[in-house]
Structures are given as structure tokens and as C-alpha cells.
Structure 1
């Protein structure tokens, strides 16, 4: 069984908390003003669906500065993205996951030596003006509204997408927070397979069409698509470091990398990770893009402008290649 490598440790929680709230001592990289070397070729990025909009903007900016480079973006659930590398053996330069633990579990150390933690998020319930009881739902009664007859709500697949298993964690935590042991089972049973998609952003079209009234999404996605959303209590939205100990009470099993084996993910604050793969086909251009993506006045700025908090500065697990020295601080592990 795969175990959490660092957030369970008190030392790491304190370190991460300081980065969330105040930033750590070393400033993150800014983009260099030195003349850029001429780069060419394509950079293939497999990424979480929730990063689609900010990565599109990053790609546009980077390509404008490096016209010889084409950024190819391929969105999916983060676990599905990793399995494109490990099972389908598709070429990939960079993989960006909505949960850094996906990189730890499926990619490191065989496919990469590094895991850079760079962004945060929280769960919300997205909806539209057409949603049933749209004028009634709020942060206190959301679960009562969802369980009313005729209300359709959706989530992503926990085996493919971190938002899926985080939604199940949210429901588990809600059972404890609202002191209702039956709540998780009710929410689970009332969300049928037809309302589940491989990645959470695929639920947006179902919301717009009216096939769904509500969808569990990341806050950044709801804001980027200008959707209404219910802000969930911090005790259950997986977005507040202060409730890390409470989040640990939730755990979800998903299909592992080997047939028949299951992996347990424990509830922790949401942290995104990105990695440069060992077999990156265009390493030079991929390194340049990662430097831009993790620069305070580059990709991190775009993320913040699009409603997604960042780690300031980014942290890394494993070993950074020399070309990426300075883009992140080492995460302090409590072994």
C-alpha cells in the first residue's frame, strides 16, 4: 500500500503552513532578462484537466517568446495522465498533476527524479442559474439540497482523477463535520455512474446543458468558467492547512498501478505537483518552459490571476536536475 511521504509529518506540516500563509525565506525565480537561447521543437505536457485554462495562457505566452517551440497540451485526470506514461508509454516531457501524490505513487523514481509542488486549491460545488434550488443552496444546507428528489449532481472518477477521490473524502469529512454517520452513504448512492466522468472539467458541459444541477469542482475551475459555486466549510473543502489533522480522517481506495492492487489516499490539503520526465523528448525546451511556469512573474502569476493560489516559493521532492536549480526549495521531510 502506498503511504503518504510527508504531509503526515508534523515538521512538514509546519513548513508547508508557513509557505501557504507567508511564503518561505528564499524568493522564487523570476524570469531572466538575459537573451533567451533559440529553442525549437514541441514540448508535450500531460496535465490535470483543472489546469487547462492557465496552461493554455502559459503556452501562448511562452510560444510568443519562443516562436520555434510548440507546446502540446493533453488534458485528462491526473492518474490517467500518469498511466499514459507508465502503461501506454506515450512520449511526454512534462506532467502536471492536481495531486503531487500521483507523481510520488506512479512516476517517482522510475520515470522521474523530481516532483515540484507549486499550487493549491479547494473543493466547491459548481452550479448554474438553471440548477434546481439554485436560489436556496448555501454552505450550510448544500447536502440537504443535493439529496432532494430530482436533484442531479456529479463528480469525477476517483480512479482517474484526484478531484474524484477528493470529492469522496469531502463526503466522508462531511459525515463527521455534520455528525451524520449516514451522510457519506447517502451522497455516494445518490450519485449514479451516469453522473461520473473521467475528469472533473467534463462535468461542466453537463452543468451547462442541464443534465446536472451541481458538480463537485475545484474553486479555480468554477471561477475560470464563471460558474456560480457553493463555498464549502474549510473543515471539508481540503483547502485549509489548519484542518490538516481533520482531513486525515478521510481515506479512499483507488486502483493501483498493478492489476488487482488497491492504493489508499489519505485526506490532506490539496497540493499540485509538476515534473520533468527522465525520457523527455525535448528536455532543453521543457526545462525552459518549467522555469517560466514556476517563475513568480510567469506561470505562477497566471495561476493567481485565474483564481488558483500558489506555493510561494514552490517546493520539491527528490532531486532537481541542475538545469532547474533555484526554481524551488527542498521540502523538509520528517523521516
Structure 2
């Protein structure tokens, strides 16, 4: 055999071996890991998914974003076989998952790990009404204008929704502007939604169905679903997480730390406001949301289909958020992230 023929034969064998090696996991069934994150986590989790699958080609991570309440209900109400749940409000996990899976059975989970913080901002675009005038000092007056349309997510489904209500109620108190909540949000409903002050606590009681009666307010199932509406000019301003505003290239107004739900130093002040969800299924669990600093958390349901792979993914997420990720405030400290509650 000539040298050229021998070379071609060896090359052909190498190609066959390389092709076979490349098809190892396509020819075999990969483990499908169902991960349900809060919508505001989709962007960083898509990056984490790619990195994780590159290191673990035998695992196929499938992401499905929902509002934080809806994410948990995939497990508790719909009884779906979900491997990992990650939410934008750590307190939702004990409130909604530390309950028995059935009569005489164990809880859906009994632990979670906090891993990141965030804050609420007012997001907008160049085409928003008042975009050339709005500032951190006058933002609330701009949103209160009758012709300005404001969007937030459904508080029955998404934590950013009830936080939008909290921020607006706190702003009314912080700026000493009586009626501000009504002008920005509450007056758009019939009957109006109005905060009640009693014993130093601001309480917002919501109807069972959040249906605005005017075009002043628009509501979507999750905060990320407001982005297309904002981009199309259907609304002028949206209550969003800062990470979401930055990841999607929006303009935004930073709110004072006293009301943006992003400062541990002001936790006591945040705790002055609570939102009572009107949805009947929340009467026994998770119906009362208290203002507190925004903390994200992750858990693995007890009846998880793939416990080992789920734990691997959780550890990967925690490690990823130890590194600064674009668009996010500083992650929690390694000590805080390592605590299971």
C-alpha cells in the first residue's frame, strides 16, 4: 500500500471514530432535567444551561420560565415531575412548599438556598411619554400623569407584581404624597384598590381577579412579558427587576433604597407594607406577602425524578452566581449562599 493510500485509510478511520464519539449521547437517551425558574432568571439560566450541558453532555436541561408563584404551582398544584425550582422570592418556598404532598406524606421540600439579590426599577424606552423629562426625583409624578400607561405583572402569579404594589405604596408614604397609589395604579380598577393604614401597617387587599377598568394600567402574567408591550409602545413604563432592564437594554430609573426592596438596611421599612392576594387557593398558604429585601432562592422538590442530576445543577447555579453575572446586582456572599433554610 502506498503512503498516500495508507494516510487516507488512517484518516478515514479517524473520521469514523470521531463521528462515533460525537454521536455518543445523541445515540443514547440523555437524562432530561426539568428546571422551572422565575421569568427574570431565564436569561442567566440560559447561559448556565449551555455551560452545564457542555460539562455534562449526558444531561439535557430544559428550562420553562414562569412567574415565581406559578413556578411553584407546577409542582404543588399541577403535580408535574419538576427537578429544580428557582424563584424570585425566597419566602414563597416555605410558604407554599413546606406542606404535605398528600395525606400522611412528607412536604414538597424542606430546604432552599438563597443565591442572589435584586431591586425594583422603573423601566422605559425612548418612545415612552415623558422619557425626556423623567428623573429619579420626579418619576412618581410622571407615572401619575393620566395619559401615562403603567405596566406590572400579575401579583397572583408573579412576585414582581406584588412588589410593584409594595413599591408604589411605600413611595406614597416616603414622598408624603397622599393618593399617589391611586393615581398610579389603584384608580385604574373598579372598585379602586386603595392601601389601608392601620397600626402603622399599610395593607393592600387585592380582588380575586386583577382586571384594570381603564387603559392606565396593563397587567401581564410575568414581568418579562411586559417587555414586548413596552417595546411596542403599548405601555410607557414598567415595574421591572434591575437585572431584566439591563439584560434587555432598557432605560430605567433607580429608586431610593428606602423603597426599591433591594437594601437589607431598610428591611424594617419594607416590612410596613403587605399585600393580601385575593385568589381563593391562597387562603391557607402564601396569601399574605410582606415587604422585604428581594432574595432569589432555589430548591429541589422531594419527589424529584432525577435527584442526583438536580443537585448537580443546583450546585452549578450557586457557583455561577458566586461570579458576577452581567446585569445583576452583587450576588449574595458565599456564606449566605451556602445556607439551607
Bin the TM-score by the shorter chain. Answer: 0.7 to 0.9
> Is the 1:118–1:314 contact (alpha carbons within 8 Å) kept by the matching residues of 2?
no
CA distance in 1, matches of 2:316, 2:30: 16
Deviation per CA, 1:182-240, whole angstroms, max 9, x where unpaired?
A: 11222223556360011100000001101011100000000000100011111110001
1:265 maps to which residue?
289
The alignment yields a C-alpha RMSD, in angstroms, of 2.0
CA distance in 2, matches of 1:307, 1:253: 29
The reply on whether 1:101 has 2:88 as its aligned counterpart is no
Of residues 151, 165, 170, the one that matches 1:168 is: 165
Deviation per CA, 1:249-289, whole angstroms, max 9, x where unpaired?
A: 11101146736557211111111111011111111111111
Query: In 2 relative to 1, CA 61–256 (structure 1 residues): closer, same or farther, beyond 3 Å?
Result: same
- Secondary structure of the 2:185 match is helix
Of residues 295, 298, 311, the one that matches 1:287 is: 311
Higher relative contact order (CA 8 A, sep 6+): 1
CA distance in 1, matches of 2:170, 2:116: 23
2:139 maps to which residue?
142
The reply on whether 1:310 has 2:331 as its aligned counterpart is yes
TM-score, normalised relative to structure 1: 0.79
- Secondary structure of the 1:57 match is helix
**Number of residues paired by the alignment?**
280
Query: In 2 relative to 1, CA 54–177 (structure 1 residues): closer, same or farther, beyond 3 Å?
Result: same
1:116 maps to which residue?
113
> Is the 2:68–2:89 contact (alpha carbons within 8 Å) kept by the matching residues of 1?
yes
Shift, 1:149, TM fit:
2.9
CA distance in 2, matches of 1:289, 1:115: 14
Query: In 2 relative to 1, CA 259–217 (structure 1 residues): closer, same or farther, beyond 3 Å?
Result: closer
The reply on whether 1:56 has 2:46 as its aligned counterpart is yes
> Is the 2:321–2:331 contact (alpha carbons within 8 Å) kept by the matching residues of 1?
no
1:184 maps to which residue?
181
Query: In 2 relative to 1, CA 156–211 (structure 1 residues): closer, same or farther, beyond 3 Å?
Result: same
> Is the 1:79–1:102 contact (alpha carbons within 8 Å) kept by the matching residues of 2?
yes
TM-score, normalised relative to structure 2: 0.78
CA distance in 2, matches of 1:279, 1:108: 13
2:8 maps to which residue?
none
2:338 maps to which residue?
328
Query: In 2 relative to 1, CA 61–257 (structure 1 residues): closer, same or farther, beyond 3 Å?
Result: farther
Query: In 2 relative to 1, CA 77–314 (structure 1 residues): closer, same or farther, beyond 3 Å?
Result: farther
CA distance in 2, matches of 1:286, 1:178: 46
CA distance in 1, matches of 2:142, 2:316: 43
